[in-house]
Structure 1
Amino acid sequence: MVNKASFLKEIDFSKAELMELIDLSIQFKGLKEKRISHKYLEGLNIALIFEKASTRTRSAFTVAGQDLGMNVTYLGSGEIQLGKKESVEDTAKVLGSMFDGIEYRGFKQEDVETLSKYSGVPVWNGLTDTWHPTQMIADFMTLKEHFGTLEGLSIAYIGDGRNNMANSLLVTSAILGVNVTIISPKTLQPEQEIIDLAHAHNTGAILTITDDVNAVAGVDMIYTDVWVSMGEEVDFKERIDLLLPYQINSDLLAKTGNDQVIVMHCLPAFHDLNTEIGRDIYEQYGLSELEITDEVFQKYSTTIFQEAENRMHSIKAIMYRSLKRL
């Protein structure tokens, strides 16, 4: 039986439940903007487990927890024995006896499910190799803020169609009834299991998987992500060559035929040479931009950074929904 107090993957929730979280996120954003105190969970303690480093997820959970009045403890990969000297199950029981909630950002979906099963407290999936559910609430919150509604929207994800972002966008769009197109090379398209889940939870969305970049025609939003996920071991040159035709640039935007289209990116983005990795890529491959050009990134930066900020408000809504039941 699914523990609805936890937030592990999108398919555990109905359209109404996800919409409730989106609307609650917008309400919390309003409180934050008006500087209205909302320490509704004062005195509770939460643990943040990070096997994978992050800027947005760590900051969002930390500030959201503190705004709600909670004490927040960060547990980095080098600070605990999760799965090394101590099993995930045993760690879950220990942390569950001390904390009121646990966030996990790491590799295996199995690990976050185990934490939820054995800890006895709500567990929130900050990202696994399979799903990125907290990002979805922020993303669809951003879409609702921009367009006023999710009804009738069509979105496209372009790039690596097998990563957690593509998985989550496909399935969450299906649940919410938002038309979605995943555009990627055939070798990088979603696994059949993910496609089947999307169809099984579809509430009326048109779901399209294709390798044709012209499929962006008519969409309201285009989404992309980095071409190599954290911890993934691939031939980087081969991946770049495969995905370069799927870069979001001015030519791709023109194919939408929609001058009101917006672009979103979960960040970080390789759009310039202002990072060590970006400069390394340029020195090795002569490319200063990867999944999105700097011109497009800057044009839509307001929306992209609005999306990043919304991680905090949406995570606040997720934690509040979980912990208010206690």
Structure 2
Amino acid sequence: MRHFLTLRDFTKKEILEIIDLALEIKKDLKAGIYKKELENKTLAMIFEKSSTRTRVSFETGMFQLGGHALFLSNRDIHLGRGEPVKDTARVISSICDMVMIRTFEHSMIEEFADYSKVPVINGLTDSYHPVQLLADYMTMVEYGINEDAVVAYIGDGNNMTHSWLMLAAKIGFELRIATPKGYEVDSKVLEDALKMAKESGAVIKVMNDPKEAIQDATIVTTDTWASMGQEDEKEERVKAFKGFMVDGLMMCLTKKDAKFLHCLPAYRGQEVSEEIMDQHAEIIFNEAENRLHAQKGLMVWLAQHAR
């Protein structure tokens, strides 16, 4: 059984296969062609964390593939209200053909996958957000920036940073991560990425100076400084992240045609300036749309490799 919990579990070849499928699916959709690759299949969508893009893209994607998606919040099911994760997994996977989970602890989704009879997709955990990275890399490929990329991640050492580490280590591009002191990436995740980078040829650098990280970068990306569940830390984090906003002055340090990516939602005036969001709106919102296509490619690929 193949699950999609982190990019660590996939080879470069497999990641590129998913991206190629996504690009083909997007091309067909723009031409008005709908291939019912998952006709009569059901996707259970378990949301312990709310979302705009994740719900809309998975639900729309499953419909366009000929299947049906079920939205299940923690108010709709017994998970987290007395029923063990393993029992919920056994029940749902005996009825549905695929499961997407957006939750807090990564260990929860790992346990669910251990007891699931069908593919489980990580729609986001506190540790990783791999479906977003599929959309991000698909967007990079569309703009002709892939293995030769120099990506600068400016911001918090969170689930997005961890997922960028996994992608870079698998694909083999250069990734520079700049975080404030005290907000660095998880040391075990970094250690894993550095080991994989030896095989792929990826160059991974971590630092605390955003200007050093962004120098001559071809892709710049960031994320909110306070993720879901960290609202109480917001004021403290705004102070800690002073000097980490991606603005016009910072983007002047990049390559001439550098692109800016953001997983959204973006908090203008904090991690990114209004100016940069407006200048790079085309690619940012194409990136957001690509959540739909990348996830459709992923679901089709998982259905093909379910056994």
Q: Percent identity?
A: 36
CA distance in 2, matches of 1:58, 1:228: 21
Partner letter of residue 264 of structure 1? L
Alignment of 1:137-286 (within 5 A): 137-147=134-144, 149-161=145-157, 163-202=158-197, 203-215=200-212, 216-232=214-230, 234-256=232-254, 258-271=255-268
CA distance in 1, matches of 2:81, 2:249: 48
User: Could you say which residue in structure 2 is the equivalent of 1:109?
Assistant: 106
CA distance in 2, matches of 1:101, 1:232: 30
Deviations 1:110-138 (CA, angstroms, capped at 9, x unpaired): 11112211121111000000011111110
Deviations 1:53-91 (CA, angstroms, capped at 9, x unpaired): 111110110011111111111001211121222111000
- Whether the aligned pair in 1 keeps the contact of 2:226 and 2:233 (CA below 8 Å) is no
**Could you state the TM-score of these two structures normalised by the residue count of structure 1?**
0.91
> What is the root-mean-square deviation of aligned Cα atoms in Å?
1.1
- Whether the aligned pair in 1 keeps the contact of 2:74 and 2:80 (CA below 8 Å) is no
Does residue 32 of the first structure (1) align with residue 12 of the second (2)? no
**C-alpha displacement at 1:42, in angstroms?**
0.5
Partner letter of residue 170 of structure 1? L
**C-alpha displacement at 1:234, in angstroms?**
4.4
User: How many equivalent residue pairs?
Assistant: 303
- Whether the aligned pair in 2 keeps the contact of 1:244 and 1:291 (CA below 8 Å) is no
The alignment partner of 2:224 has SS state of: coil
Indicate which of 50, 53, 57 corresponds to 1:53. Answer: 50
Alignment of 1:73-152 (within 5 A): 73-147=70-144, 149-152=145-148
**C-alpha displacement at 1:205, in angstroms?**
1.2
The alignment partner of 1:223 has SS state of: strand
User: Could you say which residue in structure 1 is the equivalent of 2:275?
Assistant: 295
CA distance in 1, matches of 2:248, 2:148: 25
**C-alpha displacement at 1:235, in angstroms?**
2.9
User: Could you say which residue in structure 2 is the equivalent of 1:15?
Assistant: 12
The alignment partner of 2:267 has SS state of: coil
Partner letter of residue 134 of structure 1? V
Structure 2: 5+ residue runs without aligned partners? Answer: none
- Whether the aligned pair in 1 keeps the contact of 2:177 and 2:206 (CA below 8 Å) is yes
Deviations 1:15-48 (CA, angstroms, capped at 9, x unpaired): 1111111111111110111110211110111110
Point out the more displaced range, 294-303 or 228-237. Answer: 228-237
- Whether the aligned pair in 2 keeps the contact of 1:41 and 1:324 (CA below 8 Å) is no
The alignment partner of 2:241 has SS state of: helix
Partner letter of residue 164 of structure 1? N
Partner letter of residue 36 of structure 1? I
Point out the more displaced range, 229-238 or 152-161. Answer: 229-238
The alignment partner of 1:116 has SS state of: helix
User: 1:233 and 1:270, CA in 2 relative to 1: closer, same or farther beyond 3 A?
Assistant: closer
- Whether the aligned pair in 1 keeps the contact of 2:43 and 2:68 (CA below 8 Å) is yes
- Whether the aligned pair in 2 keeps the contact of 1:160 and 1:225 (CA below 8 Å) is yes
Partner letter of residue 46 of structure 2? I
User: Could you say which residue in structure 2 is the equivalent of 1:307?
Assistant: 287
**C-alpha displacement at 1:233, in angstroms?**
5.3
The alignment partner of 1:201 has SS state of: helix
The alignment partner of 1:319 has SS state of: helix
**C-alpha displacement at 1:198, in angstroms?**
0.5
- Whether the aligned pair in 1 keeps the contact of 2:176 and 2:205 (CA below 8 Å) is yes
**Could you state the TM-score of these two structures normalised by the residue count of structure 2?**
0.96
- The runs of at least 4 consecutive aligned structure 1 residues that moved more than 6 Å come to none
Deviations 1:179-236 (CA, angstroms, capped at 9, x unpaired): 0000111211112101111012111111000011222111001001000010125432
The alignment partner of 1:188 has SS state of: coil
- Whether the aligned pair in 2 keeps the contact of 1:7 and 1:122 (CA below 8 Å) is yes
The alignment partner of 1:41 has SS state of: coil
